[in-house]
């Protein structure tokens, strides 16, 4: 029997203003209802922002180590319920259970990591240019932070945003994706149980139009952090620009995995399978392009297609399944359209390409792992983010050719190279214009203590994770203390 859920505002689980609901269904079996969630409205956003603004007055004054102790308890609380949260995530999002466990673990890791920052949050001290004068800088919170998060990592990505914001002394209004609200509920429950004061964390569930837009446009929210599509990211950026509010955008990727003629082919196939079909290809870091040297493209393609054809598609709770469903009917239709586009462009469909909708698949949103060969770099399937289990194999003549192809898209999130030549590896590392780079590993697998984000249309220059995340949710204050007892003018002014 499914449950009915409420928003979390001002430390209370409260009914939303308009009574409309979102029916959350299992993408592997859409006859299974996960729960009924609020389809909130602007009034709920306003209430959450007001609660967060009130709470900020006292939360910002709590010593950072004390804020961090609360976060540490939240990490402990999530860790004790990891399996429960992972199973619920698989039911509402579809990714296979081992990946859902990884998603929850990332939230645990991020929360532990940022709890440690509560005793750092380092600024600088520096010699002043005048005698009897002290100079330093400190990080300061901004206020209410609006967080708009996607469905593909429904606990990890909220943790990337909410936890560093909290440790810096901000308060939060979280708007999760309407496809995956339950994981956000679990995350907020952990913070509540850990002792976060009322109003410091607020959860408003609903659509992008009814909740996301009012949140991004709200004058009482000085910083917005958004992860999602470039199209929506542009709207969020525009909404913040006119009032000079801070905005962090983490958007798409069209990531490349480059296989050189001296690379370990079997290892590269492993990386291409994991990068292309993990999370059913629904990752911003997915390896949707594989650029292969012509000397080894035949061997690589044969092995890659053989392995992909054997991947087992099904319910992510089944331990025998390798690839779960895609998130919803709209996304499935988008994938099918790109398969048609690829065939029309002249690419060769090497395996997959079909929706699975009979037998055990009849009530779900399943698509076969799909590989295209003979793909030209300028084809749409090699340029546009599909966000599904579709991989394009592109031939190259050399390392320089591979790098040119790899950089020849509007995105710049992640790239990888398979080679045994350290010189080639370092050249590619230097010349690929991406925010993340891997050597002899796939394009996915970022760790929480290093910056996460990309270049070009992938984002607007900010980074998540690591200490870089603190720069999104704090601003610098430079402080000068003159204890000379007289007016001293800097820059050598007499």
Give the whole-angstrom CA distance, residue 334 versus residue 392. Answer: 16
> What pLDDT digit, counting tens, does each position of 319-364 carry?
999 999 999 999 999 999 999 999 999 999 999 999 999 999 999 9
Give the whole-angstrom CA distance, residue 305 versus residue 391. Answer: 11
Nearest to 198 by CA among 41, 5, 47: 47
| Confidence at residue 19, expressed as pLDDT on a 0 to 100 scale | 87
How much is the pTM? 0.96
Hey, how many other C-beta atoms are within 10 angstroms of the C-beta on 133? Answer: 15
Tell me if residue 250 is catalytic: yes
| Confidence at residue 492, expressed as pLDDT on a 0 to 100 scale | 84
Average pLDDT, the chain: 97
What are the beta bridge partners of residue 313? 323
Give the whole-angstrom CA distance, residue 377 versus residue 394. Answer: 7
Give the whole-angstrom CA distance, residue 223 versus residue 32. Answer: 37
Does the CA dihedral 13-16-21-24 come out positive or negative? negative
Domains defined along the chain, listed by start = 3-251+459-478 (3.40.605.10), 256-439 (3.40.309.10)
Kindly state the helix (H) or strand (E) to which residue 144 belongs, with its residue range: strand 144-148
Hey, how many other C-beta atoms are within 10 angstroms of the C-beta on 301? Answer: 20
Taking each helix axis as running N to C, give the angle between helix 64-80 and helix 181-194, from 0 to 180 degrees, rounded to the nearest 10: 130
Tell me if residue 240 is catalytic: no
DSSP 38: E
Phi and psi (nearest 5°) for 271? -65, -40
Among 284, 368, 385, 464, the active-site one is 284
Give the whole-angstrom CA distance, residue 321 versus residue 191. Answer: 33
| Confidence at residue 166, expressed as pLDDT on a 0 to 100 scale | 98
Phi and psi (nearest 5°) for 416? -145, 155
| Confidence at residue 1, expressed as pLDDT on a 0 to 100 scale | 43
| Confidence at residue 101, expressed as pLDDT on a 0 to 100 scale | 98
For the chain, residues with pLDDT lower than 50 are 1
Q: How many Cα atoms within 13 Å fall on the side-chain side of residue 194?
A: 29
| Confidence at residue 2, expressed as pLDDT on a 0 to 100 scale | 56
DSSP 279: G
Among 106, 178, 250, 368, the active-site one is 250
């Amino acid at each position: 029997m499914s449950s009915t859920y409420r928003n979390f505002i001002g430390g209370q689980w409260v009914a939303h203003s308009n009574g409309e609901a979102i029916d959350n269904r299992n993408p592997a079996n859409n006859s299974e209802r996960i729960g009924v969630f609020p389809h909130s409205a602007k009034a709920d956003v306003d209430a959450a922002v007001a609660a967060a603004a009130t709470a900020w007055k006292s939360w910002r004054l709590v010593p950072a180590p004390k804020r961090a102790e609360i976060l540490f308890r939240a990490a402990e609380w999530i860790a004790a319920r990891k399996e429960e949260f992972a199973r619920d995530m698989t039911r509402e999002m579809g990714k296979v259970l081992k990946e859902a466990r990884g998603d929850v673990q990332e939230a645990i890791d991020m929360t532990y990591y940022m709890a440690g920052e509560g005793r750092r949050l380092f600024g600088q001290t520096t010699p002043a240019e005048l005698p009897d004068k002290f100079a330093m800088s400190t990080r300061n919170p901004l206020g209410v932070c609006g967080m708009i998060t996607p469905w593909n990592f429904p606990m990890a990505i909220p943790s990337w945003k909410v936890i560093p914001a909290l440790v810096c002394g901000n308060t939060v209004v979280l708007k999760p994706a309407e496809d995956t609200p339950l994981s956000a509920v679990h995350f907020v429950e952990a913070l509540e149980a850990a002792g976060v004061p009322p109003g410091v964390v607020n959860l408003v569930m609903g659509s992008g139009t009814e909740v996301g837009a009012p949140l991004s446009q709200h004058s009482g929210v000085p910083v917005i952090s958004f992860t999602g599509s470039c199209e929506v990211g542009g709207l969020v950026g525009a909404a913040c620009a006119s009032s000079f509010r801070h905005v962090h955008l983490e958007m798409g990727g069209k990531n490349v995995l480059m296989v050189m003629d001296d690379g370990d082919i079997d290892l590269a196939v492993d990386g291409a399978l994991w990068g292309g079909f993990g999370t059913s290809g629904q990752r911003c870091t997915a390896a949707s392009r594989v650029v292969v040297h012509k000397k080894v493209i035949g061997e690589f393609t044969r092995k890659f297609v053989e392995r992909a054809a054997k991947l087992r598609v099904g319910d992510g709770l089944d331990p025998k399944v390798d690839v779960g469903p895609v998130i919803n009917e709209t996304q499935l239709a988008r994938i099918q359209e790109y398969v048609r586009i690829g065939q029309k462009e002249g690419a060769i469909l090497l395996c997959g390409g079909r929706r699975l909708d009979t037998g055990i698949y009849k009530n779900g949103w399943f698509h076969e792992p799909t590989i295209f060969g003979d793909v030209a770099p300028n084809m749409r399937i090699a340029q546009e983010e599909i966000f599904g289990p579709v991989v394009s194999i592109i031939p190259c003549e050399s390392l320089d050719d591979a790098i040119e192809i790899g950089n020849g898209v509007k995105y710049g999130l992640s790239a990888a190279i398979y080679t045994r030549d350290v010189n080639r590896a370092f050249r590619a590392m230097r010349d690929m214009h991406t925010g993340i780079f891997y050597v002899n590993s796939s394009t996915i697998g970022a760790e929480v203590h290093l910056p996460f984000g990309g270049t070009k249309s992938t984002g607007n220059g900010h980074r998540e994770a690591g200490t870089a995340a603190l720069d999104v949710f704090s601003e610098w204050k430079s402080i000068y203390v003159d204890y000379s007892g007289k007016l001293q003018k800097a820059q050598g002014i007499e």
